[in-house]
């Protein structure tokens, strides 16, 4: 398990070292320094008599680590390489297991990662896995195991203890980095994302130990019988996690969907109340979306939604969350953001979307614009329903004040075409959820009207 490329929809870890807070920098630097020291301590085994089987296991860890499961809602992945770590621990010892784990972690960070990882992420991921493997080896010895020697059933309990230790330490190290950099509660983050993967680690340790016993007794058919169900179990885990991610992700824009943002907003509001901090909620409406669909077709409407969604996400802080809230509406949640800061960010978002015209290809000058409304806890209201209704009302007032005409398309110079909104002629779009429809609102919201009075603060 390692910290990896960012996952769509959820709060994202800052990509650059300078973007991290001081506390996060100290945490990442400390874990990295300790892990690198563990690696240096293990390196002398390379010159020992175990160097040939060690080299074989390290080489095997590279392709095995490419079989990945991307964990939902966080920037982390899980691979099968931990099975080889257990094999190295049982046959060659703790130091060999550390180097095999490092080889798998390096491969996992370097290839098929989805995007280039910053240096501090790679170092932290590799160092964290090395540290967790070293501690797991210590636990294995303390529970009666003998590294480098497989003693049949006597090694089962120590192996389970080592696998549990590796999982707990490694997952908490990764959760700590993600939680500190995205301002998310560590306990909730770990329980929701990492805890469900615990069985995979225990199963991997069991398969490793059972296969080694089968090899010792030359029962090669047992190896095949054990590897097949393990591979199927891993495939099922990956399928489950992928579907879990799809359940909270809008298929068209890649942002979080309404289901995720409502649950996340509830948690963030509760956290703000406990800590006495502020929380800003911004509702964004794409001007003239129905007109775009009616005049230029749904492909152009899809392209406009995707372009605005990408702009909104890039304009927010790394730990803010932006979701597609309805057919042409988005909702952004900004923790630790005051009412004044929320209003300023709302105007920044409007300017950012209007500036998209500067990136248009020659001859294509479709103009996109958005209407925004912001409400903040505790200044405007203390409930999520109240904040959403106030932001909704202010968004419609902003649309009226700016002369927005939601039933007319934005001006396009030249022949109307989907490419005016950033969609290539050959591009295939997933149409799920892309129609101009309004998703169900939070319970308690009334029909919107720009002239209605703001609800009283509870």
Active-site option among 250, 302, 320, 328 = 328
Q: Is 348 a catalytic residue?
A: no
- SS3 letters for the chain? CEECCCCCCCCCCCCCHHHCCHHHHHHHHHHHHHHHHHHHHHHHHHHCCCHHHHHHHHHHHHHHCCCEEECCCCCEEEECCHHHHHHHHHHCCHHHHHHHHHHHHHHHHHCCCCCCCCHHHHHHHHHHHHHHHHHHHHHHHHCCCECCECCHHHHHHHHHHHHHHHHHHHHHHHHHHHHHHHCCCHHHHHHHHHHHHHHHHHHHHHHHHHHHHHHHCCCHHHHHHHHHHHHHHHHHHHHHHHHHHHHCECCCCCCECHHHHHHHHHHHHHHHHHHCCCEEEEEEEECCHHHHHHHHCHHHHHHHHHHHHHHHHHHCCCCCEEEECCCCEEEEEEECCCHHHHHHHHHHHHHHHHHHHHHCCCCCCCCCCEEEEEEEECCCCCCHHHHHHHHHHHHHHHHHHCCCCCCCCCCCCCCCCHHHHCCCCCCCCCCCCCCCCCCCCCCCCCCCCCCCCCCCCC
Active site residues: 328
């Amino acid at each position: 398990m390692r910290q990896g490329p960012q996952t769509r929809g959820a709060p994202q870890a800052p990509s650059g070292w300078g973007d991290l807070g001081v506390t996060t920098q100290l945490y990442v630097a400390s874990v990295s320094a300790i892990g690198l020291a563990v690696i240096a301590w293990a390196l002398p085994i390379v010159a020992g008599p175990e160097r040939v089987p060690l080299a074989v296991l390290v080489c095997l860890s590279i392709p095995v680590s490419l079989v990945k499961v991307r964990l939902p809602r966080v920037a982390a992945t899980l691979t099968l390489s931990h099975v080889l770590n257990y094999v190295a621990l049982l046959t060659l010892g703790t130091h060999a297991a550390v180097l095999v784990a490092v080889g798998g972690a390096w491969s996992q960070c370097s290839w098929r990662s989805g995007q280039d990882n910053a240096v501090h992420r790679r170092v932290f991921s590799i160092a964290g896995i090395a540290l967790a493997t070293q501690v797991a080896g210590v636990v294995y010895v303390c529970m009666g195991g003998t590294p480098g020697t497989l003693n049949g059933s006597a090694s089962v309990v120590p192996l389970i203890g080592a696998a549990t230790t590796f999982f707990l330490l490694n997952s908490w190290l990764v959760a700590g980095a993600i939680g500190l950099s995205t301002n998310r509660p560590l306990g909730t983050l770990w329980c929701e994302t990492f805890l469900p993967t615990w069985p995979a680690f225990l199963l991997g340790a069991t398969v490793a130990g059972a296969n080694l016993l089968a090899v010792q007794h030359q029962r090669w058919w047992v190896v095949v019988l054990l590897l097949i169900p393990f591979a199927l179990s891993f495939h099922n885990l990956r399928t489950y996690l992928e579907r879990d991610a799809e359940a909270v992700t809008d298929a068209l824009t890649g942002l979080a969907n309404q289901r995720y943002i409502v649950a996340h907003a509830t948690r963030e509001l509760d956290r703000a109340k406990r800590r006495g901090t502020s929380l800003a909620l911004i509702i964004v409406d794409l001007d003239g979306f129905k007109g775009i669909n009616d005049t230029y077709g749904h492909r152009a409407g899809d392209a406009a939604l995707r372009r605005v969604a990408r702009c909104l996400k890039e304009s927010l802080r790394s730990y803010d969350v932006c979701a597609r809230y309805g057919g042409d509406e988005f909702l952004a949640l900004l923790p630790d953001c005051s009412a004044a800061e929320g209003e300023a960010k709302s105007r920044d978002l409007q300017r950012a979307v209007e500036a998209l015209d500067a990136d248009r290809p020659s001859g294509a000058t479709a103009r996109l614009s958005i209407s925004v409304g912001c409400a903040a806890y505790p200044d405007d209201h203390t409930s999520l329903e109240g904040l959403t209704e106030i932001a909704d009302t202010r968004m419609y007032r902003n649309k009226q004040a700016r002369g927005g005409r939601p039933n007319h398309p934005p001006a396009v110079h030249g022949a109307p075409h989907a490419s005016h909104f950033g969609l290539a002629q050959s591009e295939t779009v997933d149409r799920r959820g892309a129609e101009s429809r309004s998703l169900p609102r939070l319970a308690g919201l009334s029909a919107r009207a720009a002239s209605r009075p703001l609800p009283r603060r509870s």
